[in-house]
Chains A and B, each alone.
Chain A
Amino acid sequence: MRSVKYYAATSWGDAVATLAKYPLAKPLAGGSDLLGWIKDDLVGPKEPRWEILVDLRTIEGASGYRYSQGDGLRIGALTPLSTLETAKEIVENYPMLAKAFAAPASPNIRNVGTLGGNINQRPRCWYLRGPEFSCYKKGGDFCFAVTGMNQYHAILDGELCYIVHPSDTAPALLAFDAKAKIVGPRGEKTVPLSEYFIGPRVDVTRETILAHDELMTEIQVPAPQPGVKTAYFKATNRETYDFAIVNVASWLKIKDNLVEDSRIYLSGVAPTPYRATIVEQTIKGKRIDEALARQAADQQMVRARPMSDNAYKVDIAKALIRRALLEAN
């Protein structure tokens, strides 16, 4: 691995100023993905060789969480996933979130991997991750997945680039309508997570709205509501240390056995976390049963545009949507 400079940030302002000053600086959280990225020397016309790592873990208060019945849950972006998956307040009040926090990678990686890192990690596409492939994301002019090996690529919303969103936690947080607190040179702002991710049609080289000198500092999850039922499913090749073939997080507000409101998100199927709006519309005001769950899942996946090797993901996505609806019922 080539040498890089290391800078331990002392505050969010310090981190932002450092990033603003150095175009080749990159924020470092757990480092479980970023260091591998640098070791593999993944560079291209739009993907520079990072020279400075700005460590965010040294910022006081960046890690940790607090919960209150009124305000809900606030999680520092630098909090390790292993802290969150076992936190009593989360397990008791947001069991589906606890499940999602325990889903990524392996226990060892979750000990260093942070929530912010999980949400902001780069995609796992094996062409993006291959130094020899100059793909759109790195500033090249080709998507190798379209004509190549695409069994793990997008079945929905692919355009130009067919990555899938890699985060196990993002769909769960989105189902809870979480917000992200962002700090930048012009101060702080809070945005709904539903407006945080951007697809290839907006900017193929990025996956979020964050500018080079902006940082996610906190995730805010609204307080639990009565009558809400949630579910989370992740389909993988292997039991642990694996990215999702498909995962589904569902949040259903049920009143008198009827679906009053819902948010259903999938990861692993599209370049951004994918909201299953057709499912939500199909079940609204209805009582969920096997037939409705099947109808909703099938109608949603009419939208799917699988490639040569990934049609099986459509079947798995349908199954997980059905399961999420029926479990929440």
Chain B
Amino acid sequence: MVTTTRPSEKTTHKVIGTRPIRPDGVDKVTGRAIYGADVTLPGLLIGKVLRSPFAHARIRNIDTGAAERLPGVRAVITAADLPDPDKGMADVGEASATYRDLSHNVMARDKALYQGHAVAAVAAESASIAEQALALITVDYEPLPPVLDLVEAMKDDAPLLHEDLRTNELGTLSDKPSNIAAHARFLKGDPAAGFAEADVIVERTYTTTMVHQGYIEPHASTAYWNADGKITIWTTTQAPFAIRDNVAVLLNVPVSRVKVIPTEIGGGFGGKLPPYVEPLAAVLSRKSGAPVKMTMSRTEELQASGPTSGSRTHVKIGAKRDGTIVAVEASLAYEAGAFPGSSVRFGSLCMFAPYDIPNMQLDSYDVVVNKPKVAAYRAPGSPAAMFASESALDELAERLGMDPIELRLKNSAKVGTRMANNIPFQHPVGNVKVLEAIRESDHWRSPLPESTETRKIGRGLAMGFWPNAPLKSSCFATVNPDGSVTLVEGNPDIGGTRASLAMQLAETLGIPYEKVIPQVADTETVGYNDATGGSRTTFTGGIAVYELGQDIKQQLIERARILWQLNPEDAIVYEDGTIRGPKEGQQLSFDQLAAQLFKTGGPVVGRASVSPKHVGFAFGCHVVDLAVDIETGKVEILRYTAAQDVGKAVHPSYVEGQIQGGVAQGIGWALNEEYVYDEQGRLVNASFLDYRMPTSLDLPMIETILVEEPHPPHPFGVRGVGEVPIVPPLAAVANAISHALGHRFTDLPISPRRIIETLYP
């Protein structure tokens, strides 16, 4: 693998920065790890969901009688079996929803709002019986005109999804029903005055279509509602505590009655934050008195989980002849799906964050349409927005005759620069360093291959920004007599976080990595932890294990004091895993002291609970070389290099993996992935055959450059790395194709069809 690490000045670490084997690796490669669908219990029933064939329909009546009478069927439920919660705001990670919307999304109440919307569910003694039972349920639908297009949905006379939805217009609720859930604005300076000073103005509209996270493991949940009222849920989720809290509200039971046990998880990317089948499995279990397992098929995943928004973004950039950007304006509209809550505001915040621009007006519109309710997807909101802004900047560089890196360097934000929301960068950020890293890279300095008559070569560059999220983490650890440390934490391990947290604890304690035994606990074993999401687990979890390490060190010092019979004022030092007393030669290794803990008061248990305020912002700069076959429209990625400010790479291999994975998803988004709806709102490509994610053969080895600009509030300088790498590829690929063909591509995906239709109109 071609990887360049640009280490921070101080490299005194012993564990951090090494590449040990992950603790969960053997179980995963040998098939022993228990994923969502692997859970089984005595008397287990299988649950299945009946889904709406209509994108928009009123539900007049549901007759479940015949299904209930089918032998082997143990329970049938509809929305009538669920409470109808109020409009309080639910925690669904980096997206938003009210509890009522969440409930109505889990099971349609009066209206089906997208094809695949759940309308009933059954639990039966086999999957086959459950499927037969679904076919026996009669739903009386009154089909309504579907609202599928953003522009159409925003019109005054568009059919309404929700008769009671009023636009939150810049903070004030409007009085007329609309499909526009919210219009927000970031305003800085005086854009009109800024544009008056501009010598060059670039202005275009960009669109993207709905795409899916494509995690390899579909949703799978097993619930058991015990006769004593206790609900236990085994589920594949990024957010066991949020699932617990949401299920409690959706089922109107106290949080203390719900226990969520996270299974191993095969990817999430934001799509495994909200509840889908968990509440249904629980209600089916209550009704049947048996545990119920529900898994979603790939078709159900694509039709009815939480993809990310299709978008339409208008951008206008004004600059002086020397490249100084004087003003920007943008208007972004994102599909929220069937219920409000897209990430459009995040998108508008991110799109010009790498730059110091005096005058900005960024308007964002959250629009409901008859498609699945969107969920978070890796840096939610940013990729589509920065596809627009970074494409426009590339065009600006072209118009000015400037190098795209020089244009970006000239306008770079620095500490003190205020973002669109007027919040200044308080800590050093790596936006300049990633640009410089690309400028100095072998890739950027290598000439492009020659184009031929039918194979056109292009190079494209783009930046990406994501603020990351800190949120809350808690954990505890026990020192064992053999010198090992059992770490109990609460974040499902998607990207190697057992390893990254164990490494940070080992570093803190000055003991070998192998001595730390991490485990992911359920919601009754460990304190509250926010989701594995927002690129936060290694960051906030790292602060937590560091604090935990300090707690253990302090307790070990006190145990040594007991052993050595020293006074409280006698200085004892803990350094590199060794405890030293004030007398010459008075010292114990971590292992030696651990072996004597039972003689000094029992085991040492450390704990920490943190909620850091200062998260480290993430920047990446990517460059891609590609070839376009102008006769078949096929794009071949020839070379790809991603530079990213990672703060401090705790486990460089996993950081590289995060970057490569994000790039792969971004390239898929740019070239091939798209939700194809027919005019009735039926998703016609709801399979991995027809919804084309890239395969390994579609990608070259993705080169990574790890830039380490430490984030000072973190003890090791860590910043989150998982999300931002999906941001730059959309614009980088589009810019490269534009250079190859001499035509600006503003709509994704840039599929063979799009290229041929553009070249031969």
Contacts and interface: CB of A to CB of B under 8 A. Distances in A.
Contacts of A124: 689
Contacts of A236: 634
A300 B757 CA distance: 20
Contacts of B634: 235-237
Given A148-B678, A238-B692, A315 B631 contact: yes
Interface centre among A144, A147, A240, A312 (most CB of B within 10 A): A312
Contact of B53 (A40, A132, A241): A132
B632 A316 contact: yes
Size bracket, chain A contacts: 35 or more
A322 B53 CA distance: 44
Interface stretch (B367-375, B429-437, B547-555, B679-687): B679-687
A2 B128 contact: yes
Contacts of A3: 128
A44 B197 CA distance: 66
Interface in A156-192: none
Contact of B752 (A126, A129, A130, A316): A316
A320 B757 contact: no
A1 interface: yes
Contacts of B684: 126-127, 130, 148-149
Looking at chain B's contact residues, the main secondary structure is: loop
B698 A316 contact: no
Contacts of A239: 695, 697-698
Interface centre among B631, B676, B692 (most CB of A within 10 A): B631
B406 interface: no
B632 A241 contact: no
Interface string A240-256: 11110100000000000
Interface in A96-134: 106, 124, 126-127, 129-130, 132
Interface string A191-202: 000000000000
Interface string B617-640: 000000000000001111000000
A114 to B, nearest CB: 19
Looking at chain A's contact residues, the main secondary structure is: loop
A234 to B, nearest CB: 10
A298 to B, nearest CB: 13
B33 interface: no
Interface in A310-329: 311-312, 315-316, 319-320, 322-323
A11 interface: no
B692 A237 contact: yes
Contacts of A2: 128, 131-132
Contacts of A40: 299
A239 to B, nearest CB: 4
A151 B698 contact: no
B526 interface: no
A235 B634 CA distance: 8
B685 A319 contact: no
B519 interface: no
Given A3-B128, A316-B756, A235 B695 contact: no
Given A238-B672, A316-B752, A1 B695 contact: no
A312 B751 CA distance: 11
B690 interface: yes
Contacts of B697: 239-240
A235 B752 contact: yes
A144 B678 CA distance: 9
A238 B753 contact: no
B131 A312 contact: no
Contacts of A149: 676, 678, 684
Nearest to B760: A315
Interface in B59-82: none
B753 A151 contact: yes
Contact of A126 (B128, B679, B690): B690
Contacts of B17: none
A260 B679 CA distance: 50
Given A239-B697, A241-B689, 11 more contacts: A2-B128, A106-B695, A126-B676, A129-B687, A149-B676, A237-B672, A237-B692, A245-B752, A315-B631, A316-B631, A319-B631
Interface of B: 53, 127-128, 131-132, 299, 454, 631-634, 672, 676, 678-679, 682, 684-685, 687, 689-690, 692, 694-695, 697-698, 751-753, 756-757, 760
9 contacts: A2-B128, A126-B676, A126-B685, A132-B53, A241-B695, A312-B633, A312-B753, A312-B756, A319-B632
Give 4 nearest A-B pairs by CB, closest first: A319-B631, A239-B697, A312-B756, A126-B684
